[in-house]
Structure 1
């Protein structure tokens, strides 16, 4: 009698515990990550004239990027619709080279009154610096596919070791960019990125001159998520 009661009690216990364990396992299953980090590098292949007036300038950037998924929520299954992601960049390396003659004659390039007979030639300028772009958004299409086209843009600040484009400019400059590209999903935790950005840099009329640099940038990056 006692043996039968023990068997019945054991079966009842298993019937209660096993579903609870299964339910707990499902509830603790990790949801898709909303956070990711990446590293990228970009370089200019041509200058534009949409806003900036400096010609033949060269620009290079290396950045660390933080990604956070905004919509849809990471706790809902991804649909075929686009996703919206917030991005923030830390730029430990900025490079800007402005060749001689890239600007129209500026006051600093004109001869002093006592030396009008021998005008000086405009000089080029190279500067390095750091930057931050705390405000960025990316709209990614086909998030369930291995190839994911996207549109993106960001804005921030750049600080150089000398004033640009020359002594009449400023070391602290503003920048923003817009562009498009494609994300290549290698694994669920590893994504490669290639894209184009139209990048503008200027001092926001804080200097005596503000010609601005428009750069057409090509960028490559790697993103990892936990």
Structure 2
């Protein structure tokens, strides 16, 4: 007896094209913003405010948690996501950090995520086929309990465009992409333990000292198996992310 999947999962090409399109838009926007020409010179007050010129290399620790889910790409509702990470930053432009920049700066970022948590409540997606944990006679997609998966991740490809880098308060936009490996398949045994993730968002950096920067940002976060599993509903989450960055 073959398993007949709902239309949502029977045509993965459509959803795949949607994901590729969104990722292409994100990359295009970041690259386009990185080509913005130098802005006017910073004011004397801003250069005298004590904010540091960006360092070539820096490291940071950060934490993020979801406060709501959306359905832009993924279809799993009411999921919760939590992350703890370490980040390496390298300044790409301007090539020399010796003097305060005259325009936006572009920074490469790479993340190691040693703690990654995804919690999916029972019945979060009623049209999902039953997995091995479903009880006999249950409605499709309903589990007897909430699924909680723990994992680790890497995001080797990230970019951040920072405005007003010579000021103490520095707005920025950023995005990154990578892989996540969990201790079990998501959202059930028809999915995969190895998933893809990307995020994009905006925030603000606050230079406390020349070597210490605090960060707060919003991130749209997506997690899915890229149609490597029998099903690929995906999780879309709104994240609040806080971090602290130190540089030599």
Q: TM-score, normalised by structure 1?
A: 0.81
Structure 1 residue 75, shift from structure 2 partner: 4.7
Deviations 1:78-121 (A, max 9, x none): 333100000000000000000011112322259x9xx6xx4357
Q: 2:177 aligns with which of 146, 149, 155?
A: 155
**Retained in 2: the 8 A contact 1:72–1:78?**
no
Aligned 1:53-132 pairs, distance under 5 A: 53-75=75-97, 77-108=99-130, 118-119=137-138, 122-123=142-143, 124-132=146-154
Deviations 1:168-220 (A, max 9, x none): 00000000000000000000000000000000000000000000000100000
Count of paired positions: 192
The answer to whether residue 191 in structure 2 is matched with residue 169 in structure 1 is yes
Q: 3-state SS of the aligned residue for 1:217? A: strand
Partner of 1:216: 238
The answer to whether residue 72 in structure 2 is matched with residue 50 in structure 1 is yes
Q: Which runs of 5+ in 2 are unaligned?
A: 1-52
Quickly say closer, same or farther: Cα 1:32–1:60, change in 2 above 3 A: closer
Q: 3-state SS of the aligned residue for 1:53? A: coil
Q: CA separation in 1, counterparts of 2:171 and 2:209? A: 17
Q: 3-state SS of the aligned residue for 1:42? A: strand
Q: TM-score, normalised by structure 2?
A: 0.74
Quickly say closer, same or farther: Cα 1:75–1:147, change in 2 above 3 A: closer
**Retained in 1: the 8 A contact 2:54–2:100?**
no
Structure 1 residue 32, shift from structure 2 partner: 6.2
Where has structure 1 moved over 4 Å in runs of 4 or more? none
Partner of 1:196: 218
Between structures 1 and 2, the one with greater strand share: 1
**Retained in 2: the 8 A contact 1:109–1:120?**
no
Q: CA separation in 1, counterparts of 2:100 and 2:179? A: 34
Deviations 1:123-163 (A, max 9, x none): 13110000000000000000010000000000000000000
Q: Which runs of 5+ in 1 are unaligned?
A: 1-30
Structure 1 residue 73, shift from structure 2 partner: 1.4
What value does the CA root-mean-square deviation take over the aligned residues?
Answer: 2.0
